[in-house]
Amino acid sequence: MTGTNDVYGVGEREAAGSALIEAYERGHNLGDWRPIHERMRIASCRLCGCLLWIVRPPDKKTWRAGGNALNAD
């Protein structure tokens, strides 16, 4: 099951992009991504200070988004 594609990092832009869009649709205005470490980026909202992050678990090749910027309300 070892692929030859360089999948590392490929999912990062997609995860970050869709997370920003999702937060924007909820009325947030996220600033720049700040790297926390190699597997985590955080952006904060300019309006309310809520947080959006993307993380890549050590055993995964895909990124996932989280944070209260994605919550309703």
What is the Cα–Cα distance from 51 to 73, expressed in whole angstroms? 14
Report, in Å, the least distance between residue 52 CB and Zn ion. 9
Q: Which is nearer to Zn ion, 23 or 56 (CB)?
A: 23
Q: Which is nearer to Zn ion, 42 or 50 (CB)?
A: 50
Q: Which is nearer to Zn ion, 9 or 31 (CB)?
A: 31
Report the interface residues with Zn ion, using CB under 5 A.
Answer: 28, 45, 47-48, 50
Q: How far is CA 49 from CA 4, 34, 43, 45, in A?
A: 41, 14, 9, 5
